[in-house]
Amino acid sequence: MIALPIATTGADWYDNLTEQDQELYDMIEDRCPEFSKYDAAKCQDFMDELSEYGITTAEQFEDAYFWQSDSFNPEADFVEYLVTELDCLELPPYLVIDWQESWDRNYCHDFISFCFDGEVYFFHNNF
């Protein structure tokens, strides 16, 4: 974790990062465009959060990052996305699925999820 001086600008913060952290920042910004709106302190907080899960390099982020959502039920929406979009299953309209229960029973063990600034980010556990 890098301590930020009060007057640190985004450019100063970025320039003071290690090359590995600059590459990580660039990868995050590439995959999550809203990240570029954050100030230096918020960017550092997000990178610190990732570090707590062992994601410290651009390669690890690229391998682990999966999806993000700002919906009311992000975990349920994530599982529905996995099943319907990625597995390309067209479910009959009469079928009722408890997507949250599917997350709780089957998917939460394979993914890391955390909320940051109103978005929930999903990462593979095995990256």
> Domain containing 29: what range?
10-124
Does residue 1 lie in a domain region?
A: no
Does residue 4 lie in a domain region?
A: no
Tally of structural domains, the chain: 1
Does residue 93 lie in a domain region?
A: yes
Whole-number pLDDT of residue 6 = 46
Whole-number pLDDT of residue 110 = 96
Question: Quick check: helix, strand or coil at residue 77?
Answer: helix
Q: Rounded CA gap, 24 and 34, in Å?
A: 15
Question: Quick check: helix, strand or coil at residue 116?
Answer: strand
Helix (H) or strand (E) holding 69: strand 65-69
Whole-number pLDDT of residue 4 = 52
Whole-number pLDDT of residue 7 = 44
Does residue 61 lie in a domain region?
A: yes
Helix (H) or strand (E) holding 123: strand 119-124
**Is the separation of the CB atoms in 52 and 64 below 8 Å?**
no
Q: Rounded CA gap, 100 and 79, in Å?
A: 8
Residue 30 burial (CB count, 10 A): 13
Does residue 68 lie in a domain region?
A: yes
Does residue 77 lie in a domain region?
A: yes
Q: What is the mean pLDDT of each run of 10 residues along the chain (127 residues)?
A: 54 94 97 90 96 97 96 95 85 91 96 95 94
